[in-house]
Chain A
């Protein structure tokens, strides 16, 4: 089984890692295996975290809302704000770096909800539903996910080995 590049495994410590911050309504891709993609404070927003373990490529989007029809103008300026415009763009940018669909490992985090929301402000749920529809139509499988609940999450992707961590309530777990 093909594992991570030996050069990366030889790196003694992640301290030198280059941190690439993915802002809200933003997406980033990288071919730098020493980099760590990170996004903070995912409430109802969702991060789609994609890794190509063969070519050591990584990508992450932090989208805010499900559908670009909420604001076509904003979608034109900032496609990563919406699931329907941002997620396809994330995959396209990874393919442009040489990623291949069959190799991609896709993880999902976020989509949180308020304590007692009975569907009035279910932005997180709507964000997740649109994501599932998009992935179903395009035959994308989710390897792991940490969605829903009253958590606010910070997600990290270590591009060198594909490790994904989620931090919430001061506890970090591997996804």
Chain B
């Protein structure tokens, strides 16, 4: 007789739950950092205390912080220095980037995606979300960079499940006129967006980040109470990243754009082009740092 566990693994939902449970967690230092930042009494020293025990993460955080994207006026040598010069928000973003880079597997088989390409797309999502926010709203909302960075985290799980039967996603996309999301739902009864929201919850990330992942393909369908501008920005940034070729997967350009989201943001195609022109170099520079993070992972 088959055990219930084994039979559950035959269903798509069962396999998704199982793969999600196998997904690495973010280092404890990320949660400590989040707590330190949320506490208004925290000092730069408290932030340093939260991260410093994790030597590999500290190294990668400093590598990220010293990349041209973060615009350091001089080289930072310590977490404390990074906090004082960049501020806690940028340090959180750089730490989460460094931590996230380390949990990406070498390959996302179901999407025919190599780690470097996936990372390029994540970094593209982060930087474009932030810059689109500045162009559309004149400011960058608190969690915009992180929401952009993690919007596709569900692909880590879905890619692993789809990888059990190589080529099935391409097969269902080829010549069908289906979108990537439609193909995912037809195969697995869920999407990388829905699963992405669950992964963010599992990683105990702030709720707006998990909601941005959950709704980044359908911002207008997000329920009341969701930070709509955050979701709209991540949606548009995701499409723009794919259009510009930053980490395209098996779905290629078979994705939708929500006109209402673009209208709500008041973005013109010219503004989007200006954002793209200004972002490309930083995206490439930050993406290259992945090689460093991956090397650290291999050393462990």
Which residues of A are in contact with B by a Cβ distance under 8 Å?
23-25, 40-45, 64-67, 70-71, 74, 78, 81-82, 112-118, 120-124, 126, 149-152, 168-170
Contacts and interface: CB of A to CB of B under 8 A. Distances in A.
22 contacts: A24-B245, A43-B245, A45-B244, A45-B245, A64-B244, A66-B273, A70-B273, A70-B277, A71-B274, A74-B277, A74-B278, A112-B252, A113-B253, A115-B179, A115-B253, A115-B255, A117-B257, A118-B259, A121-B257, A123-B273, A151-B252, A169-B173
Interface in B232-265: 239-240, 242-248, 250, 252-257, 259, 262
Contacts of A71: 274, 277-278
B280 interface: yes
Contact of A121 (B248, B250, B272): B272
B300 interface: no
A117 B257 CA distance: 6
A103 B242 CA distance: 35
B125 to A, nearest CB: 14
Nearest to B182: A115
B179 A121 contact: no
Looking at chain A's contact residues, is the secondary structure mostly helix, strand, loop, or mixed?
loop
Contact of A120 (B252, B254, B257, B281): B257
B243 A112 contact: yes
B245 A40 contact: yes
A152 B248 contact: yes
Looking at chain B's contact residues, is the secondary structure mostly helix, strand, loop, or mixed?
helix
Contacts, number: 108
Given A43-B242, A44-B244, A74-B278, A65 B273 contact: yes
Contact of A25 (B250, B255, B280): B280
Contacts of A113: 243, 253
A169 to B, nearest CB: 6
Contacts of B173: 169
Nearest to A112: B253
Contacts of A120: 257, 259, 262, 269
B270 interface: yes
Given A65-B273, A70-B270, 4 more contacts: A40-B245, A64-B280, A67-B273, A169-B170
Given A74-B278, A112-B243, A115-B253, A41 B273 contact: no
B207 to A, nearest CB: 29
A115 B240 CA distance: 13
B259 A123 contact: no
A152 B245 contact: yes
B276 interface: yes
Contacts of B246: 41
